[in-house]
Chain A
């Protein structure tokens, strides 16, 4: 396979360095809006849908990067767009299930949902799985970044007479340091605004590259006619080849990936949480998936298509044997002029950095919320006076630690032939247990702590067996896909993994009464503690058989079944769970209760209009603002309703805004009475018009 070094000119490097300095300064400017952990992680729940949509572009396109889709575009043609165009199926579940729950329940991380909905032990296991997922995702991001910059670097450089080779891991470490510095001092507001800028730039850069490529080839007709028919089709062949087939990618991406991305990607969830309300979050999701993703599919894959067309016309310019992961850089260098190539490469690497930034920020949020705070509470060192300062500092340290772990995670993926396959394998393997846990938790009230913990423990045991014996266990679900012995069933394993986790979850839930009966019998026994200790020991032993590959397949399957039977009994015995309390406001069936809890009273759903007001500084309660009777009537607002006040200038996207509660009305029409703290928090400027709308 042909690989490249030293691509690009000095001008390109100057453009790249200038671009990165500009982006970091831009991010640092908005970093000043980070005052506490809420701002650091969630941007203060204040932004408009369009700002979040563009911000998601940079994150989404970065994660589903130029590198891997150009690689698949070069190998298989326009079907590289498949993964961008299959996200709509789960959107009803997201918009009217998960999104309102995460906003109204005021959870700060996905594991926190597991504690509220199930138990602290479910939260503990969810934290482990989610941290593995997020750190793995960061590793994939760093790997892609490394593969993107390596073709531009020399094979080695000389310092003080010593020749130092440039390796993939070396490049990744340098990138990680730059990324870590930026995120550590920026926070979520900085990331959102930087991503907004980068979202526009990378869409522009990708479309510019397509335009250059088409021009280079002599027009669109020429390009289109150069591609063979199978390369023009929007979807891959149903079940071949093993490394890129429709059905495997359907289960890995459209099912596990889409639910994973929408439901358990803490980075994305935090973007939606930064929206000013649930409806804005829905708008951001709809516009992003409907219109931005199809454009992004062209943006990220076109270099591969152009590369393929050039290789058909002139294999001397682009050899069919070019390493697929390098095709983006190779094609960009051929069709773009010096300087412009630097700009495109800067946009690419900046997009990837956006993804990694978001993931690092999100993983730090999980660390603070699900590890740091519980530990602090446990050791009782939580001093309320400067808690936020301490947490903000801990968040910055966590970002550094997560960055380092992300670099280590690269080692798990770097031996896959392409980033695409590494990502596919990663998604298929790590998302199913959490996806099933979240999905059934939200949409099935009967789903119990015993079921979710068994899904995490027993489901993972069955997944390990699937990974160990793919020819026996995954093959029945392979839809005719040939098994590659080096990387068996990279994609379709998602179907097996999802089914075993779902099967464990459903079986345990529908046998809940049996588990309770058994637990009652144990409790009636004088030696109940001894019985439970024996039960836990047996679970550990049989789980070890699966985990450490002891004995043969039959014994391991029997052990996994033993885990599926014994874990729910143990959890039912130890975990206190009240279905009514634990599902209140935390399932799709109780979203109205969640809205009541969020507001602290009955929501007011009368549809009013927005009003424009000037601020008047008064002393008073910081959660309350006062409008005139007439303005409240226009908004159809009552005392105690929730209100969102923002700077009237729409282009600010809600950066200067606050949430508050309607207080007693006054008679000064067009005026809002507001406290100095609210003015400071909303960054309002006296004399500038404000826009107010009733939330609920």
Chain B
């Protein structure tokens, strides 16, 4: 398979998208609206970073499965593992939500 159909879109998506994502976090922190001194916002930082890794893994796993590098059944198993990690960590971080 051509690189232009396999990994180039992936690199473009998470390269450029990643820059925008990190810029969003930095800008909102610098503006003071995303305040990591507040416990609830720390929880949101975890969710934001998890979300980025979640989608990056999702696309990487689907690409590997399409190229027969891993069995297709690995995709849902790894994703369910990630969901479990997400639920456990988020519940641990859970506090009474702020307004």
Q: List residues of chain A with CB under 8 Å of any chain B CB.
A: 78, 85-86, 88-93, 95-97, 100, 220, 224, 229-230, 232-239, 246-247, 250, 254, 277-280, 282, 286, 289-291, 294, 443, 587-589, 591-592, 595, 603, 605, 607-610, 642, 693-696
Contact = CB atoms under 8 A, between A and B. Distances in A.
11 contacts: A88-B17, A88-B21, A88-B52, A93-B28, A233-B5, A237-B9, A238-B8, A246-B13, A286-B47, A588-B27, A695-B99
B77 to A, nearest CB: 14
Given A232-B65, A605-B98, 4 more contacts: A93-B28, A229-B1, A233-B62, A591-B31
Contacts of B20: 89-90
A605 B1 contact: no
B48 interface: yes
Contact of B96 (A78, A592, A608): A608
A-B residue pairs, 8 tightest by C-beta: A92-B24, A232-B66, A696-B99, A96-B28, A235-B9, A246-B9, A234-B62, A588-B31
B88 to A, nearest CB: 15
B58 to A, nearest CB: 7
Nearest to A277: B99
Contacts of A254: 13, 17
Interface in B54-72: 54-55, 58-59, 62-63, 65-68, 72
Interface in B40-91: 40, 44, 47-48, 50-52, 54-55, 58-59, 62-63, 65-68, 72, 83
Contacts of B95: 607
A95 B59 contact: no
A537 B8 CA distance: 50
A96 B33 contact: yes
B98 A92 contact: no
A528 B33 CA distance: 43
A605 B38 contact: yes
B62 A246 contact: no
Contact of B32 (A78, A236, A591): A591
Contacts of A230: 1, 5
Contact of B44 (A282, A608, A693): A282
B51 A88 contact: yes
A95 B48 CA distance: 10
Nearest to A99: B33
A161 B66 CA distance: 57
A92 B26 CA distance: 9
A279 B97 contact: yes
A290 B5 contact: no
Given A86-B17, A229-B66, A289-B51, A238 B28 contact: no
A693 B96 CA distance: 9
Given A92-B25, A93-B28, A695-B99, A238 B33 contact: no
Nearest to B18: A89
A91 B51 contact: yes
A165 to B, nearest CB: 43
Given A89-B17, A92-B24, A591-B32, A603 B5 contact: no
A90 B20 CA distance: 7
A224 B31 contact: no
Contacts of B48: 91-92, 95
Nearest to B26: A92
Given A88-B52, A589-B32, A224 B72 contact: yes
Contacts of A608: 96
Contact of B33 (A90, A100, A229, A603): A100
Contact of A89 (B21, B67, B83): B21
A289 B32 CA distance: 24
Contacts of B97: 277, 279-280
A303 B16 CA distance: 31
A232 B6 CA distance: 10
A92 B32 contact: no
A384 B12 CA distance: 56
B97 to A, nearest CB: 4
Nearest to A87: B55
A247 B24 contact: no
A290 B54 contact: yes
A608 B28 CA distance: 26
A234 B8 contact: no
B10 A235 contact: yes
A85 B27 contact: no
Contacts of A238: 4-5, 8-9, 12
Given A91-B24, A696-B98, A443 B31 contact: yes
A85 B62 CA distance: 12
Contacts of A220: 72
Contacts of A86: 13, 17, 55
A694 B59 CA distance: 41
Nearest to B39: A607
Contact of A279 (B6, B32, B99): B99
Contacts of B13: 86, 235, 246, 250, 254
Contacts of B21: 88-92
A93 B99 contact: no
Contacts of A609: 96
Nearest to A249: B9
Contacts of B5: 230, 233, 235-238
A435 to B, nearest CB: 13
Nearest to A245: B9
Contacts of B83: 291
Contacts of A239: 4
Contacts of B68: 229
B2 A237 contact: yes
Nearest to B29: A96
Contacts of A88: 17, 21, 51-52, 54-55
A510 B54 CA distance: 39
Contacts of B24: 89-93, 97
A246 B12 contact: yes
B90 to A, nearest CB: 10
A286 B99 contact: no
Nearest to A443: B27
A286 B98 CA distance: 16
Most interface-central of A93, A280, A696 (chain B CB within 10 A): A93
Contacts of A443: 27, 31
A605 B4 CA distance: 50
B91 to A, nearest CB: 14
Given A89-B20, A282-B44, A443-B31, A607 B63 contact: no
Contacts of A603: 99
Given A246-B9, A250-B12, A607 B31 contact: no
A88 B55 CA distance: 8
B99 A278 contact: yes
Nearest to B38: A605
B92 to A, nearest CB: 16
A454 B65 CA distance: 48
